[in-house]
Amino acid sequence: MSPAHRSTATTVVLGSASPARLRVLRDAGLRPAVVVSDVDEDALLDELAGAPPAQIVTRLAEAKADAVVAAVLGDRAPQAAGAATDGVVVTCDSMLLTGGSLAGKPHTAAAAAERWRRMRGTTGHLITGHCVRRLRDGEAVASASHSQSTAIFFSDVSDELIERYAATGEPLEVAGAFTLDGIGGWLIDGIDGDPSSVIGISLPLVRRLLTQVGVDVADLWSAER
């Protein structure tokens, strides 16, 4: 893309309530506006029951993008001023494939501990669906979506450590009942794949999706450090 056509005014919108996703993007030089979607994920999960895991998380990300684009183009997202004219909307959905089934957030300490007793010493796959939409002059003009999978090698830890980790509350509201970059890091032996995707948003995949919708990620890097 020649410099003359490069847009330096593109507003980035992160369509997510995830503080971790926002932190990954900010640490990577973006200053996104946050517009949270109101998608009924459980209803969509029911509709998608039986579909391949990568398709499920990608469809969820696309549904979140639909809701956020509608809010931005419908003037219901004042915090994303300018995005309708020249913007990109990025949404994600993460789930853990373990023991042959997809798991989201455990929501309770008991559920988190039960999950950990099953997954300790095993390998799971954290799969994150991504969707990027390009907005220009009040329209959504391009879209690109895909998923990223990262293998997670869970430590074979004791019942007591599992109970104490669950009691911290950290694993309750994260996909798969673990974090890589928090207390959960003490219970992860390693990963094979993209670490940012595990935390919630894959930087290399978003770079490729941005290219597909005509945006050079380097044009989005904030001068602020």
Q: Closest CB to ligand GTP among 11 and 37?
A: 37
Supply the minimum distance, in Å, between the C-beta of residue 200 and ligand GTP. 3
| Residue type present at position 127 | I
DSSP per-residue codes, 88-122:
EEEEEEEEEEETTEEE----SHHHHHHHHHHHTTS
E-strand spans in the chain?
Answer: 11-14, 33-34, 86-98, 101-103, 123-136, 139-154, 188-192
Respond yes or no: is residue 93 known to be catalytic. Answer: yes
Query: Stretches 26-34, 79-87, 89-97, 137-145: which one binds ligand GTP (CB under 6 A)?
Result: 89-97
Half-sphere exposure of 220 (CA within 13 A, CB side): 29
Asked whether 93 and 61 are in contact (CB, 8 A), the reply is yes
Name the DSSP letter for residue 1: -
Based on the shown chain and the rule CB under 6 A, indicate whether residue 115 belongs to the binding site for ligand GTP.
no
- The bridge status of strand 33-34 relative to strand 11-14 is parallel
Supply the minimum distance, in Å, between the C-beta of residue 184 and ligand GTP. 6
Based on the shown chain and the rule CB under 6 A, indicate whether residue 174 belongs to the binding site for ligand GTP.
yes
**One character per residue 28-57, x = contact with ligand GTP (rule: CB under 6 A):** --------x---------------------
Please identify which residue in 18, 147, 148, 202 interacts with ligand GTP, judged by CB under 6 A. 18
Report how far residue 159's alpha carbon sits from residue 216's, in angstroms, rounded to the nearest whole number.
48
Based on the shown chain and the rule CB under 6 A, indicate whether residue 205 belongs to the binding site for ligand GTP.
no
Encoding tokens for residue 23? 């932190």
Based on the shown chain and the rule CB under 6 A, indicate whether residue 180 belongs to the binding site for ligand GTP.
yes
* C-alpha 42, offset from chain centre: 17
Based on the shown chain and the rule CB under 6 A, indicate whether residue 196 belongs to the binding site for ligand GTP.
no
At 73 the three-state DSSP class reads: helix
Residue of closest CB approach to ligand GTP: 200
Based on the shown chain and the rule CB under 6 A, indicate whether residue 93 belongs to the binding site for ligand GTP.
yes
Based on the shown chain and the rule CB under 6 A, indicate whether residue 66 belongs to the binding site for ligand GTP.
no
Contacting residues toward ligand GTP, per CB under 6 A = 16-18, 20-21, 36, 92-94, 105, 174-175, 179-182, 198-200
